[in-house]
Structure 1
Amino acid sequence: MATTLPVPIEFSLPDGWLSAPPDEVGAPRAAFVALHPGSAAGFTANVTISGELRTDGATVAEVAAEAVARLERGLGAVEVGRRNELESAFTQVVRMTVPIDGRPVELVQLQVFLAMPDVRDESRRAVLEIVLSATPAQFEQLVGDFQAFLKTIRPDEGAAR
């Protein structure tokens, strides 16, 4: 069953991307999924958004390491590439091979983790995980769309009223 985000956000999808129900596309941990139908040659590139409320003091880098550990438990070996830590965000590139329709498919993920403190309770914060998944060729074509998408994500001020 699709999850909900711990904080309301708003964003805009780039042209060519379509939202899809997470449960129907096999992403039950996600609160939001967008597909790029134009990239469907064996794998449809996608963006997922999930998140959780954290009270444990884990850094965003530690949350990112947890995401890699989840992938390793499900897939075995994954390769973590470039990582970048900012004040309340962390990015990492992860490469893996996944079985799709009985054949191995190489995928690249750009994972972005955004921490948003709870203004009412400093011991709590929401951590959003926003991920682009694509084949290497799709990744090169779509990473610009993903970066543009990231720039549109912001708290949904209207939801707090």
Structure 2
Amino acid sequence: MRNDGATISQIADESIPRLEQGGPVRVLKKTEIGTPDLPGLTDSPGIVQNVVLSTTLRGEPIELCQSQVFLGMEDVRNPAQRAVIEIVLTATRDQLGEVIEDYKKFLRTVQQADDSAAGAN
């Protein structure tokens, strides 16, 4: 939950220093989603950020690709509060082609439950 004034873009930027604890990070692309220009991924405003991080695994250097999706969902009862959902896929370059379509399919299923569905659980 966030109740500060940070934009989704600023929240996405916060992930970079966390990742840099493991090694150098390059942001390849950062795109707004949930806008009229890019409909269809989600109904919520958000950011897709693709990064490459260089780190080590079992003492060996490795480069990992990461797709980060940050979604902001306002609390309908208290608009000053919002939940920020971070969905991440991490894979090697070789693995990425095998998993990216499933990741995209999963992202299309993420949506905010309405009150009637939430009350039924």
* TM-score normalised by the chain length of structure 1: 0.63
Is 1:67 aligned to 2:15, yes or no? Answer: yes
Relative contact order (C-alpha < 8 Å, sep 6+): which is higher? Answer: 1
| Match of residue 145 from structure 1 | 102
Deviation at 1:141, TM superposition (A): 2.0
Give the length in aligned residue pairs. 108
SS at match of 2:79: coil
For residues 111 and 91 of structure 1, the distance between their equivalents in structure 2, rounded to whole angstroms, comes to: 6
- Structure 1, residues 52-100: CA drift from partner, whole Å, max 9, x if none? x01001111000000112111x123200001101341101101012221
Q: Which runs of 5+ in 1 are unaligned?
A: 1-52
SS at match of 2:77: coil
Taking a change above 3 Å as real, the CA distance of residues 96 and 115 of structure 1, as seen in their structure-2 partners, is: same
For residues 137 and 105 of structure 1, the distance between their equivalents in structure 2, rounded to whole angstroms, comes to: 12
Is 1:134 aligned to 2:88, yes or no? Answer: no
| Match of residue 58 from structure 1 | 6
- Alignment RMSD (CA, Å): 1.4
Preserved CA contact (<8 Å) 2:73 2:112: no
Of 54, 76, 79 in structure 2, the residue corresponding to residue 97 of structure 1 is: 54
For residues 57 and 118 of structure 2, the distance between their equivalents in structure 1, rounded to whole angstroms, comes to: 38
